[in-house]
Copies of this chain bind each other. A is one copy, B any other.
Amino acid sequence: MCQLLGMNCNVPTDIVFSFEGFRRRGGETDEHADGWGIAFFEDGGCRVFLDYLPSSISPVADLVKNYPIQSRNVIAHIRKATQGAVSLANTHPFQRELWGRYWLFAHNGNLAERPSLDDGRFTPVGSTDSEHAFCALLNQLSRHFGEPPSLADLHGAVADYAGTLSRSGTFNFLLSDGRALFAHCSTDLFYVVRESPFSTAHLSDADVSIDFARVTTPRDRVAVIATRPLTDNEDWTRMRSGELLCFVDGMPRPSPI
């Protein structure tokens, strides 16, 4: 399987601290060593850093650690290959454009059946079930909505799709169009919301601490979402199976009914 990391904030924030723990699970503290990637939304655009080296030793991961990119929506993924060879074409997050916005997607799990692409405009480049599911989702959204939907309508449509697809396997995923970050839990996804009064956090995967009170302002709010909690002294909330949260400005909105 793989592991996911996401961040959603009300002001542009760097992910260096969380990434420092997360990257070690790619070959050092855990086995997810078949490539990795991280994507940042910035200024309406986005940039995606990918590498097929393990994140624990990747020079691209060194760059991400040393160059604190400020972003309100971040998605990262470390891979343990189940379907599809180790190659750049199979490395998450995957990126597409729809309605003049970039969309990013990363998946943890394994789907026994691949959903129909319905002759839609989005086609996978690589051979993973994950990219296939992402393309099927975008095909469904572009067919369903004649024009860009509101966030609430989008939330409902993504929840429907996630529910349907979850029947054919494990479908934990993170999805963002730069406005919000959607987090869907099949089996394993946790989150923590950091806000004032801030305290000190300590990584689970490295003896590294940070006092958030020193690097934030009282109005900052940051949600971090991960397959397994990244710190050992914060209260992480375990998401329920089937739940799709929509994070906006560092706060989760619950699954639509």
Interface residues of A (CB under 8 A from B): 42-52, 59-60, 62-63, 66-67, 87-91, 95-97, 99-102, 121-126, 142
Contact = CB atoms under 8 A, between A and B. Distances in A.
A132 to B, nearest CB: 11
Contact of A99 (B44, B47, B49, B123): B123
Contact of A45 (B47, B87, B101): B87
Nearest to A62: B63
A77 to B, nearest CB: 14
Contacts of A51: 47
Contacts of A62: 63
A48 B45 contact: no
Nearest to A88: B45
Contact of A87 (B43, B49, B63): B43
25 contacts: A42-B87, A42-B88, A43-B52, A43-B89, A44-B126, A45-B87, A45-B88, A45-B89, A45-B90, A45-B126, A46-B88, A47-B48, A47-B50, A47-B51, A49-B49, A59-B63, A59-B67, A60-B63, A60-B67, A63-B63, A96-B96, A97-B122, A100-B125, A101-B125, A121-B121
